[in-house]
Amino acid sequence: MEKQHKFSLWYVILGIWVVLIIQNYIASMYAAQVIPYSQFLNFLKASKVTEIAITANQIQGKMKVEGAPDQTQPFKTIRVDPDLSKMLEQYPVSFKGEIESTFLRDLFSWIFPLLLFVGVWYFLMKRMGGQQAGFMTLGKNKAKIYVENELNVTFADVAGVDEAKQELVEVIEFLKTPAKFTEIGGRIPKGILLVGPPGSGKTLLAKAVAGESGVPFFSLSGSEFVEMFVGLGAARVRDLFVQAKAKAPCIIFIDELDALGKARGFGAMGGHDEREQTLNQLLVEMDGFDPKVGVILMAATNRPEILDPALLRPGRFDRHVLVDRPDRIGREQILKVHLKKIKTVPDLDLEKLANMTPGMVGADLANLVNEAALLAVRRDKDVVGMAEFEEAVERIIAGLEKKNRLINASERETVAYHEMGHALVALSLPGTDPVQKISIIPRGIAALGYTMQVPTGDRFLMRKTELQNKVASLLGGRAAEEIVFGDISTGAHNDLARATDITRSMIREYGMSEKLGQVYLAGDKQPLFLGVGPRETGDYSEATSEIIDTEVRDSIRREYERALAILRERKDVLIRGAKLLLEKEKIDGAEILALMAAPAPPDPAAE
Ligand code: ADP
Ligand code: ZN
């Protein structure tokens, strides 16, 4: 509760008090004269009373005015117990009745329930609306709207998203000098939607736009609206726009727009009333404001496909900026930004580091740098070296290293052959990603070991043979187990899932099946409807569906046979490699290549 509101509460109390005093005064002016009961009896006996009205406690009436027999005057008297009054009448005594004051009783009888009610209400508000809910601040929950006036984030802090930056330069120009734009009469964007995976720097980018143009930054998250009281979300949206307009030029940033802006009418229970109301309010506000005031709305989502189409119409979020996962060079630039914050060895190989981290987004890379710095501290080093970065990459990729996790000897052996199988098949086939490292140090829960294959570049096109080779190397783990132990384990379940996934895509999406030919059979992925998960509908017959199934099975079987053949042929390398792995826990690609190049020992059957 702010000071301001406390004041207004006091004004109300003061007002009530003044009114009460005035009322009392007026009442007393016109009120009947109160007389003692004994006097009333005397007047009665003297026939001066003209009329009376009797209630349980008092008698009201009129009596003649002395000296003016035509006029009457109202009077009032409090009744006295009749028996007692009879007795008292015999003596020359003035007596009157008095009504016990019930003021305090009345007060308590309504003040206590009122206090209780207000208390309960306050408590509920506090619980549901967070700490900020106050007495008179209903719907004006400012604390959830974050305003930052002095942002020191600039474009230099956001790396690897040059195209997105390019598109936002114009917005910065506008926010710096809105007048210039309005004079020329150019169309100013109202809503900008930043689309990209989590952690790719959407929030950072929006902040940088505010920082570069030196305007306030209002932010709030779409998911917060969903848990609110009905009507509160809409009120808050209204409030947000009022506040923002007062501070224009400025930026309003809505994170997780999809939580709020899901297509209406979808979802279980036939929609979420509160969300819909809030969304409607947002649409109303967006339509209602003139971009010339200098308010730019930015929003972020990683699921643009589920947004209500109404949000994307012209005049709303009609400008879309893609903030994608960074490519190799982008990753290098992002690493540079974050490396400024720590001390590293001077000859740090950034290019290698960027090569090791495909698929990572900005947030992962920031985490990586931090993790490496922590490792260096733990090792009592003054600067962070490549070894720390390499370990940090491994940690982030496969979860924290669990060196002390106990794993029995036979499991360890199985894992070693399995991983060696992957590596050997991959190294034997052209077009697969080079094997960088094999490890059997257990990490996380599912991954017992891993074979790290690093793509030489970011890929946009894959050839059929490359995909087949990839599937074969995924199956190489299980193939090795079969060859060495004559038995298979559960360790391959993730490999199988990925191999099947790739094969299905090859057949249904890329037209790589000879039997089915160049057709696209994957159908449309339907959005969530009435809570039922994504459905795939394909316009093909049962018969085709059966062919797809057999094609997938056959193709996977063929690749498995191929992996088996390769490993049978290189069984000596497989065994020597696995032994080396068991000994060292970690070996790199070069060591396996050396094993492969070395002539087979004279008697491989001995192993
Ligand atoms: P998003 O909003 O897309 O989920 P954020 O903007 O919150 O991602 O990014 C989280 C953090 O990750 C940032 O604070 C920053 O440290 C780091 N980061 C993400 N993308 C980049 C980038 N392109 N350049 C530099 N740092 C980045
Ligand atoms: Zn495997």
- The per-residue pLDDT for range 326-340, each reduced to its tens digit, is 777 888 999 999 998
Tens-digit pLDDT profile for residues 34-84: 888 888 888 888 888 888 888 878 888 888 877 776 777 888 888 877 788
Rg (CA), the chain: 41
Higher-confidence residue of 7 and 91: namely 91
Model pLDDT, residue 236: 81
* Span from the CA of 492 to the centroid of ligand 2 (angstroms): 5
* Span from the CA of 262 to the centroid of ligand 2 (angstroms): 38
Model pLDDT, residue 185: 65
Reported confidence tier of residue 135, pLDDT bands at 50, 70, 90: very low
Model pLDDT, residue 550: 93
Model pLDDT, residue 179: 75
Tens-digit pLDDT profile for residues 560-605: 999 999 999 999 999 999 999 888 777 888 888 888 887 755 544 4
The secondary structure of 58-88 as a DSSP string is EEEEEEEETTEEEEEEEEEEE---HHHHHHH
Average pLDDT over residues 486-510: 88
> Does the structure show a pLDDT above 70 at 7?
no
Please name the residue whose Cα sits nearest to atom 12 of ligand 1. 363
> Does the structure show a pLDDT above 60 at 233?
yes
- Best residue among 148, 203, 204 to mutate for probing ligand 1's pocket (most ligand atoms within 8 Å of CB) is 204
Ligand positioned closest to the Cα atom of 159: 1
CATH 1.10.8.60 matches 328-398: yes
> Does the structure show a pLDDT above 50 at 2?
no
Q: How many CA atoms lie within 13 A of 65 on its CB side?
A: 8
CATH 3.40.1790.10 matches 32-100: no
Residues in the ligand 1 pocket, defined by CB under 6 Å: 158-161, 196, 198-204, 300, 334, 337, 362-363, 366
What number does the ligand 1 atom closest to the CA of 157 have? 25
Nearest to 210 by CA among 163, 252, 165, 247: 252
What number does the ligand 1 atom closest to the CA of 363 have? 12
Phi-psi region of 444 (alpha: psi -120 to 50; beta: other; left: phi over 0): left
Segment of 5-9, 94-98, 230-234, 314-318 carrying the highest mean pLDDT: 314-318
Model pLDDT, residue 486: 92
Q: In whole angstroms, give the CA distance from residue 412 to residue 28.
A: 100
Contact at 8 Å (CB) between 319 and 276?
Answer: no
Tens-digit pLDDT profile for residues 417-454: 999 999 999 999 887 777 877 877 654 434 566 676 65
User: What are the extents of the domains in the chain?
Assistant: 32-100, 144-322, 328-398, 409-597
* Fold of the 409-597 domain: Methane Monooxygenase Hydroxylase; Chain G, domain 1 (1.20.58)
Q: In whole angstroms, give the CA distance from residue 370 to residue 344.
A: 12
Model pLDDT, residue 89: 79
Is 482 marked active-site?
no
* Span from the CA of 512 to the centroid of ligand 1 (angstroms): 38
Percent of the chain with pLDDT over 90: 18
What number does the ligand 1 atom closest to the CA of 326 have? 23
Model pLDDT, residue 533: 43
Model pLDDT, residue 601: 58
Q: Which of 212, 274, 394, 419 is catalytic?
A: 419
Higher-confidence residue of 469 and 228: namely 469
Model pLDDT, residue 447: 52
* Span from the CA of 353 to the centroid of ligand 1 (angstroms): 18
Tens-digit pLDDT profile for residues 534-554: 445 567 788 888 999 999 999
Cα 373 to Cα 143, 340, 379, 502: the distances in Å are 34, 12, 10, 37
Contact at 8 Å (CB) between 276 and 230?
Answer: no
Ligand positioned closest to the Cα atom of 196: 1
Model pLDDT, residue 265: 57
Tens-digit pLDDT profile for residues 376-433: 999 898 889 888 898 888 887 765 344 334 456 788 889 899 999 999 999 998 877 7
> Does the structure show a pLDDT above 90 at 490?
no
Please name the residue whose Cα sits nearest to atom 18 of ligand 1. 362
Reported confidence tier of residue 477, pLDDT bands at 50, 70, 90: very high
Contact at 8 Å (CB) between 328 and 457?
Answer: yes
Nearest to 559 by CA among 491, 483, 485, 502: 502
Contact at 8 Å (CB) between 430 and 472?
Answer: no
> Does the structure show a pLDDT above 90 at 28?
no
> Does the structure show a pLDDT above 80 at 367?
yes
Please give the backbone phi and psi of residue 207, each rounded to the nearest 5 degrees, phi first: -65, -40
| Residue 404 per-residue DSSP state | T
Percent of the chain with pLDDT over 70: 81
Q: Which of 83-97, 252-266, 436-450 has the lowest mean pLDDT?
A: 436-450
Model pLDDT, residue 607: 40
Q: Which of 120-134, 411-425, 515-529 has the lowest mean pLDDT?
A: 120-134
Reported confidence tier of residue 480, pLDDT bands at 50, 70, 90: very high
Q: In whole angstroms, give the CA distance from residue 453 to residue 358.
A: 10
Segment of 19-33, 119-133, 274-288, 498-512 carrying the highest mean pLDDT: 498-512
Model pLDDT, residue 584: 74
Average pLDDT over residues 261-282: 67
Cα 4 to Cα 130, 203, 232: the distances in Å are 21, 34, 22
Ligand positioned closest to the Cα atom of 475: 2
> Does the structure show a pLDDT above 90 at 531?
no
CATH of domain 144-322: 3.40.50.300
> Does the structure show a pLDDT above 80 at 289?
no
* Span from the CA of 449 to the centroid of ligand 2 (angstroms): 8
> Does the structure show a pLDDT above 60 at 269?
no
Q: In whole angstroms, give the CA distance from residue 252 to residue 241.
A: 8
Higher-confidence residue of 206 and 28: namely 206
Please name the residue whose Cα sits nearest to atom 17 of ligand 1. 363
Q: Which amino acid would we find at residue 519? A: V
Single pTM value for the model: 0.53
Model pLDDT, residue 538: 61
Model pLDDT, residue 524: 55
